[in-house]
Amino acid sequence: MEPLSSLPYKGTRDYYPEDKRVQNYIFAKWRKVVEGYGYEEYGAPMIEQLEVYAAKSGQEIANEQTYSFTDRGGRIVAIRPEMTPSISRMVAARRQQLAYPARLYSIANFMRYERPQRGREREFWQLNVDLFGLEGSQADAEMIGMADAILKAFGSKADDYTIKINSRNLVNFMMVQYLGLDSIQTQQMIRLLDRKDKITASDFDEQAQSIFGELAEGEGLERLRGIIEATSIGQLPREIRDSSAFDEVHNLFEALTKQGTDSVVFDIALMRGLDYYTGIVFEVFDTHPDNNRSLFGGGRYDGLVGLFGAEPISAIGMAPGGTTFEQFLQVHDLLPKLHSTTDIYIVVLSDDARKGAATLARNLREDGVNVEFDFTGRKIDKQIKTAVKKAIPYLVFVGDQEIKNEIYTIKDTASTEEQTMSAARIVSFVKDRRRNDTTDDDLI
C-alpha cells in the first residue's frame, strides 16, 4: 500500500502552532475592535440548505463554487461559502425578539471550490460584522470607520491602504437618468466598469461605445468620461450632484470626516456585486506595491432578511479575510514576534529533582502560569533546545539546590538574561510581562 500524502487538501492549509499564533493574534485584534463598538459574537452551523446561498449569492457561488451534497435525509445541503445568508436567516427567525439595532459578529471558516491563488484559498477564515435595523449615513459611517479602526489597531498608517466608496443608488441614477441607458445596457456598463482597471483605455472606450449604441453618437461617451475622471464626489457633474442619490454619498463623506476616518476616496468604478447590495458599498485596498490588491469590503444589503419570510430590515456588513490580512501585515512589516502560549519550560537538572520540579510546576499552574515540565530525563542541552524551538519565553532550572533553597534561576530564551527568584516572584514576574506585552494582552 502506497503511503498517504502528508499534504493538506488542495486550497487548504495546515496551521501549526507558529501559524496559529499569527491567526490568533489577528482574531484577537479583530474581536477587541468590534467589541469596542458594541458588537456581540454569535455562531451558526457550518452546513445550510443550498437554496440559502442560491437566493443571495447567485448561481456562480451556489452551483460552481459551493461544496454541496445530498445528506442521508435526501436534503441538498452545502458547506457554508459565506456567512451573510446564515446571519440573515437567524435575524429573520427572531425578527420580533431581537433588540435593534442588532450589532453582531463572528469569526469562522468557510469553503469555496475556486482556483487557489495568492490570498485566495478554498478554505478560508474571515471576520463577519453586521449591523441590522439602522439606516442612514451614520450606520454606513460606523461600519467603514470600524474597518479603518481594525487596520489601525495593527499599527498601519493612513497611507498603507485606501478605502474606496461607491453607492448602488448613485450608480443606478447615473446609468439611467444621466447616461440614458436601459436595464440591459446598465448591467453591461456595470460589468465593464468593474473591469476598467484590467483592460486598456482604448478597449474600454470601444466596449463602452458598443454598449451605448446610438447613444454613443451623442453625449454618451463624453458624459461617461466625465464620471470616470471624477476623483471626488465634488467633481461629479451638477446634474448628478442635484440628485437624492448623491446626497446619500455626500452625507456619508461628511459623517466620515466628522468621526476622523481617513484614507477614504470616492470611486465610481467600484461595483462590488451591485446585484446584491442596495446602497453604499466600500472596499479596502492595500497600497503596497508588493501587495496592491483588495483586502476586504462590505456594503448595505437591506433586502436579504426579507427572503426568509420576515419583514425586511436594513442591514450593512463587512468581512475581512484572515489570509489577506496576514499578507497585508507581512508586507508592511506589522507582525510582531509571537512566542508560545506556554510561559515557562522547567528544565530538570537531576533525576532526584524531578519530584520537586513537578511540585513547582503544579504550584505555578495553580497561580495562573502556563508551564511545560520536562520529565523525560534527557540531557540539559536537549531540554533547552526544545524550549527554544517551541518559542517558549522563559526557562526555569530546577535541581537539588534550587528545591532546597526554593530559589530558582529563570532565563529569557531570547536575550539569554538570567535572574534568580522565588516561586512567588516567578508568578508576579510572568504576569508583569503579560501586562507589559501588548501582544499578550490581546491574546489573553
**Reduced 3-state DSSP string for 236-304:** CCHHHHCCHHHHHHHHHHHHHHHCCCCCEEECCCCCCCCCCCCCEEEEEEECCHHHCCEEEEEEECCCC
Same domain, 367 and 248: no
CA 77 vs. chain centroid, Å, equals 26
**How many CA atoms lie within 13 Å of 146's alpha carbon, on the beta-carbon side?**
32
Query: What is the reported pLDDT for 307?
Result: 85
The residue whose grid cell reads 451591485 is 274
> What is the structure's pLDDT at 443?
47
Q: Compute the distance between CA of residue 113 and CA of residue 125 in angstroms, rounded to an integer.
A: 15
Q: Is the pLDDT of residue 107 over 90?
A: yes
215 occurs within a structural domain: yes
C-alpha cell at position 353: 529533582
Give me the CATH number covering residue 32: 3.30.930.10
Same domain, 291 and 172: yes
Min mean pLDDT across 98-102, 269-273, 365-369 is at 269-273
Question: Could you give the CA distance from residue 52 to residue 346 in angstroms, rounded to a whole number?
Answer: 53
Backbone angles phi, psi at 420, to 5 degrees: -115, 140
Q: Are residues 217 and 99 in the same domain?
A: no
Measured distance CA(329)–CA(334) in Å, rounded:
5
pLDDT for residue 160: 96
Calculate mean pLDDT across residues 165-194.
91
Higher pLDDT, 128 or 114: 128
The verdict on 363 and 423 lying in the same domain is: yes
SS3 for 244? Answer: helix
The rounded mean pLDDT for the chain is 90
pLDDT at 55: 65
Domain boundary among 240, 267, 296: 296
DSSP string, 60-93: IIIIII--EEE-TTS-EEEE-S-SHHHHHHHHHH
Distance CA 118, CA 164 (A): 22
Return all residues near 330 (Cβ < 8 A) that are at least 6 apart. Answer: none
Specify the length of the chain in residues. Answer: 444
The sign of the torsion formed by the CA atoms of 90, 91, 92, 95 equals positive
Which residue, among 269, 284, 272, 287, has the nearest Cα to 320 in the 3D structure? 284
Residue range 398-432, pLDDT digits in tens? 999 999 999 999 999 988 999 999 999 999 999 98
Which of 267, 296, 325 finishes a domain?
296
Residue with cell 474571515: 126
Q: Which residue has the higher pLDDT, 304 or 139?
A: 139
- Is the pLDDT confidence value at 4 over 50? yes
Burial of 152 (0-12, 13-18, 19+ CB in 10 A): middle
Q: pLDDT band for position 45 (50/70/90)? A: very high
What pLDDT, on a 0 to 100 scale, did the predictor assign at position 218? 63
Same domain, 238 and 120: no
Q: Can you tell me the distance from the alpha carbon of 419 to that of 11, in angstroms, rounded to the nearest whole number?
A: 47
Same domain? For 253 and 306 the reply is no
How many H helices and E strands in the chain? 17, 16
Peptide bond between residue 17 and the one before it cis (omega within 30 degrees of 0): no
Average pLDDT of 176-180?
92
According to the model, what pLDDT value does residue 440 have? Answer: 45
Residue 200: which H helix or E strand, with range? none
> In the prediction, which pLDDT does 58 show?
55
pLDDT at site 205: 87
Domain closes at, from 318, 338, 358? 338
pLDDT band at residue 441 using 50, 70 and 90 as cut-offs: very low
Question: Amino acid letter at 159?
Answer: D
Contact 18, 435 (CB under 8 A): no
In this structure, are 330 and 358 located in the same domain? no
Confidence (pLDDT) at 438 = 52
Sign for the CA dihedral angle at 65, 69, 75, 78 comes to negative
The whole-angstrom separation of Cα 61 and Cα 83 is 13
- Asked if the structure places residue 324 within a domain, the reply is yes
Q: What percent of the chain has pLDDT over 70?
A: 95
pLDDT range class, residue 360, cuts 50, 70, 90: very high
Band (56; pLDDT cuts 50, 70, 90)? low
Helices (H), 176-294: 183-194, 201-212, 220-228, 238-241, 244-258
Cell triple for 65 = 463554487
Question: Terminal CA-to-CA distance of the chain, rounded, Å?
Answer: 46
Integer Cα distance of 147 and 319 in angstroms? 9
Which CATH number belongs to the domain containing residue 416 in this structure? 3.40.50.800
Better-predicted residue by pLDDT, 216 or 285: 285
Instruction: Give the per-residue pLDDT at 57.
Output: 57
Q: Angle CA(388)–CA(414)–CA(384) in degrees, nearest 5?
A: 30
Determine how many CB atoms are found less than 10 A away from the CB of residue 196. 17
Co-location of 332 and 359 in the same domain: no
Residue 141 has pLDDT above 50, yes or no: yes
pLDDT class for 61, splitting at 50, 70, 90? low
Q: With 90 as the cut, is the pLDDT of residue 42 above it?
A: yes
Between 375 and 275, whose confidence is greater?
Answer: 375
Query: Does the structure show a pLDDT above 90 at 229?
Result: no
Cell of 215: 447613444
Residue 300 clears pLDDT 90, i.e. is over it: yes
For residues 422 and 321, is the Cβ–Cβ distance under 8 A? no
Q: Domain range spanning residue 357?
A: 344-443
pLDDT band at 116, cuts 50/70/90?
confident
Q: Domain check: are 262 and 348 in the same one?
A: no
| Number of domains comprising the chain | 3
Name residue, grid cell 463587512. Answer: 318
Radius of gyration (C-alpha) of the chain in whole angstroms: 28
**Do residues 15 and 130 both lie within one domain?**
yes
Quick one: 290 and 358 in the same domain? Answer: no
**Predicted local confidence at residue 412, as pLDDT:** 93
- Domain assignment present for residue 140? The answer is no
Average pLDDT over residues 233-244: 92
Is it the case that residue 88 has pLDDT exceeding 90?
yes
Shared domain check, 180 and 93 = no
Task: Give the C-alpha separation, 111 to 119, whole Å.
Answer: 14
Residue 119, pLDDT above cutoff 50? yes
